[in-house]
Amino acid sequence: MFSSLDPRKKGIIYLLISAFSFAVMALFINLAGDMPVFMKAFFRNVVACIITIPMLARSPEKFHIKKGSLKYLLMRAAFGTIGLVCNFYAISKINIADALILNKLSPFFAIIASIFVLGEIANGHQWLAIIVALAGALFVIKPTFLIGGISSDSVFPGIIGFIGGATAGIAYTFLRKLSQNGERKALIVAFFSAFSCIACIPFIIFTYQPITLVQFLCCCGAGVAACAGQFTITAAYAACPAKEISIYDYSTVIFAAVLGMLFLGEVPDYLSIIGYVIIIGSSVYAFLYNNGYLKRKSDAADSTDH
């Protein structure tokens, strides 16, 4: 698909499809209504298992794990599961656009986690982007000191969503470690999905409640949308380096806001919109810096002074 396009355009299109898919996933999770979040996470990952495990079984290497990868697979799966459950809880309790923008804090936490996992030291520009993004998160979470002492039902779910973004960032760091080790993407997805399903089972037993056919179909729809998002984001980054197209991933927040207004009647308040602008602005700043635009502008200014 899109074989006639240049790699960058192809990567952008795949990433936009992925962003829309994850927004649809969030919509289905919200439409599933009042059911235990662990059941939502379980169904989301069962679909991924059904798709990825047969793919691995038919591959030449099958389920072989490379030497040294198991501990990183476990860490990626553990933090990824925590992030997924927290994100689904936030999606179920607050505007889906708010929940997804908090989840999009993950790249900033990945920078912090990379210091300890990969030995990569963040520079001043990256720390500035992190601090500004965290400030933007406050506008989305809306703690009482920010809104003049008025209580807000979104504070606790917002904090959970924030934790989800943090743990997802740590999971992505271990994902990078696995990629450096040459581990297969299909194996990583299958391992995470199977781990998450197994980890959710004890919680499902203790929080079990019957679900309706509509809720079941919504969870299945979320799983299909999530798989579509996962495969297209993989195709996007296979077509073009992440630093050149990653900024387009934030379009999922716009898609989520539109879907939330159309199907859920959700309208982000002005504080959330300020938070979106700050967080996405921080990402744009990091994107420009990582691609050398800010450095070139600085160099041009220096040459002009001389």
> pLDDT digit string (tens) for 63-115?
999 999 999 999 999 999 999 999 999 999 999 999 999 999 999 999 999 99
Q: Which tens digits make up the pLDDT trace of 239-257? A: 887 778 888 999 999 999 9
CA 15 to each of CA 20, 88, 281, 288: distance values in angstroms, whole numbers, following the listed order: 9, 21, 19, 18
CA distance 106 to 123: 18
What is the average per-residue pLDDT within 249-278? 94
Q: Which tens digits make up the pLDDT trace of 137-146? A: 999 998 865 5
**Under 8 Å CB-to-CB from 200, ≥6 apart: which residues?**
38, 39, 41, 42, 45, 81, 85
Of the pLDDT bands very low, low, confident and very high (cuts 50, 70, 90), residue 205 is very high
CA distance 187 to 49: 10
What is the average per-residue pLDDT within 268-273? 91
* Stronger pLDDT, 301 or 228, i.e. the higher one: 228
Query: What pLDDT does 52 receive?
Result: 87
Global pTM reads 0.89
Residue 301: pLDDT over 60: no
CA distance 98 to 2: 32
Query: What pLDDT does 296 receive?
Result: 56
Q: Which tens digits make up the pLDDT trace of 4-59? A: 778 888 889 999 999 999 999 999 999 999 899 999 999 989 988 998 899 899 99
Helices and strands: H and E segment counts in the chain: 13, 0
Query: What pLDDT does 128 receive?
Result: 94
Rounded (10°) CA dihedral 176, 182, 187, 192: -20
Query: What pLDDT does 100 receive?
Result: 96
Reduce the DSSP state of residue 193 to 3 states and report it. helix
Residue with tokens 């019957």: 210
Residue 305: pLDDT over 60: no
Query: What pLDDT does 38 receive?
Result: 95
> Which has the closest alpha carbon to 102: 113, 115, 114, 91?
91
Of the pLDDT bands very low, low, confident and very high (cuts 50, 70, 90), residue 2 is low
Q: Which tens digits make up the pLDDT trace of 114-132? A: 999 989 888 898 899 999 9
Q: At what angle do helices 155-180 and 70-93 cross, to 10 degrees?
A: 160
Structural domain boundaries of the chain?
Answer: 66-181+269-306
CA 249 to each of CA 65, 106, 130: distance values in angstroms, whole numbers, following the listed order: 30, 12, 17
CA distance 295 to 196: 42
Of the pLDDT bands very low, low, confident and very high (cuts 50, 70, 90), residue 297 is low
Specify the amino acid at residue 306.
H
What is the average per-residue pLDDT within 203-211? 92
> Which has the closest alpha carbon to 160: 80, 110, 252, 94?
94
